[in-house]
């Protein structure tokens, strides 16, 4: 178990930094989708969010692993009651954590108190791979941490499944926010089951009709099943939120405090 502890607490951070470095470089070389004013500054503010999250997560990752081990030791959850092959447990497990996270995400749009934290992620008016970092640390801990523990308790998942989920979800999320051009055919093929970058960009539209759609990080299937799937060409998306349109509201310091303001 110690190797997994190590992987969950530390290695994922290396993976995240590696992925951002790759995508950030690709965004410099390849034909990007949207024009960008000040990429360096944008990255810096997003990085500060990651730095705060990293420190908070050193504590929270330990608590999460402890909770998951307790649930496993007491054999709590659906998969302890039924016999299915190990590979199927892994695939279903990742899909079920994604489904639980889908509902946490949907709730974050529906409940004003949660939306105050979640809108920090939606406030970005110019998106690139570093937007992946840009989430309020309180939200990330409450949402991903608790969604994972809840899914483990309901479905009887182990730490390997949780580790696999975080690896896959990170890969998806960095690609989903990247400022790279992805073809429409990807949406019509892979997009029948999986969330494509174009689909997640629609989720970042200022128009609330589209903001409240495409909640799933990995399997867009959940949006199709639960009736929240929407589509429009990515070129027509206008990123951000009306109340955060001013330049001064795009800084780390403003955004970190923004859940506690009246605006
Ligand atoms: Zn959202
Ligand atoms: Zn996003």
Q: Which residues contact 220 (CB under 8 A, 6 or more apart)?
A: 191, 192, 193, 194, 195, 196, 199, 214, 229
**How far is it, in rounded angstroms, from Cα 175 to Cα 236?**
19
- Assigned token pair, 110: 């529906």
> Which ligand is nearest the CA of 131, by number?
2
pTM, two decimal places: 0.91
Indicate the average pLDDT of the chain: 90
CA of 72 to the centre of ligand 1 (A): 31
Ligand 1 center–CA 213 separation, angstroms: 8
Rg, Å, the chain Cα set:
18
- Coil vs helix vs strand at 119: helix
Residue whose entry in the numeric block shows the structure tokens 């730490």: 159
Share of the chain above pLDDT 70, in %: 95
Query: Cβ(185)–Cβ(178) under 8 Å?
Result: no
Q: What local confidence, expressed as pLDDT, does residue 18 receive?
A: 85
Contact residues for 89 (Cβ-Cβ < 8 A; gap 6+): 79, 157, 161
pLDDT for res 19: 87
Gap from CA of 123 to ligand 1 centroid (Å): 10
pLDDT band at 106 (very low <50, low <70, confident <90, very high): very high
Q: The tokens of 85 are what?
A: 């092959």
Tens digits of residue pLDDT in 191-240: 999 999 999 999 999 999 999 999 999 999 999 999 999 999 988 999 99
Top-confidence residue, 114 or 144: 114
- State the distance from the centre of ligand 2 to the C-alpha of 177, rounded, in angstroms: 6
Ligand 2 centroid–CA 70 distance in Å is 32
Q: Is the pLDDT of residue 71 over 80?
A: yes
Q: Cα separation of 214 and 224, whole Å?
A: 9
pLDDT average, residue stretch 243-253: 88
The reported pLDDT for the residue numbered 9 is 53
**What per-residue confidence (pLDDT) applies to 205?**
96
- How large is the average pLDDT for residues 29-43? 83
How many A from CA of 200 to the centre of ligand 2? 6
Crossing angle of the two packed helices 39-73 and 146-155, in degrees rounded to 10: 30
pLDDT at 61: 82
């Amino acid at each position: 178990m110690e190797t997994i502890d190590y992987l969950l607490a530390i290695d994922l951070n290396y993976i995240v930094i590696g992925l951002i470095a790759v995508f950030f470089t690709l965004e410099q070389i390849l034909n990007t989708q949207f024009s960008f004013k000040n990429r360096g500054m944008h990255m810096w503010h997003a990085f500060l969010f990651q730095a705060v999250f990293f420190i908070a997560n050193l504590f929270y990752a330990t608590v999460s692993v402890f909770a998951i081990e307790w649930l496993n030791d007491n054999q709590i959850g659906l998969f302890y009651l039924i016999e299915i092959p190990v590979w199927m447990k892994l695939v279903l497990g990742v899909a079920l954590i994604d489904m639980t996270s889908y509902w946490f995400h949907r709730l974050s749009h529906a409940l004003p108190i949660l939306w105050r934290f979640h809108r920090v992620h939606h406030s970005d008016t110019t998106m690139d791979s570093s937007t992946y970092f840009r989430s309020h640390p309180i939200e990330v801990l409450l949402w991903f941490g608790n969604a994972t523990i809840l899914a483990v308790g309901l479905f009887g998942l182990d730490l390997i499944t949780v580790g696999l989920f975080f690896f896959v979800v990170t890969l998806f999320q960095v690609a989903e926010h990247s400022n790279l051009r992805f073809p429409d055919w990807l949406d019509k093929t892979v997009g029948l089951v999986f969330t494509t970058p174009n689909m997640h960009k629609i989720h970042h539209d200022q128009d609330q009709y589209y903001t409240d759609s495409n909640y799933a990080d990995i399997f867009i299937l959940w949006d199709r099943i639960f009736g929240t799937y929407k589509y429009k060409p990515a070129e027509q998306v206008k990123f951000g939120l009306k109340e955060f349109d001013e330049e001064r509201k795009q800084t780390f310091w403003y955004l970190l405090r923004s859940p506690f303001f009246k605006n």
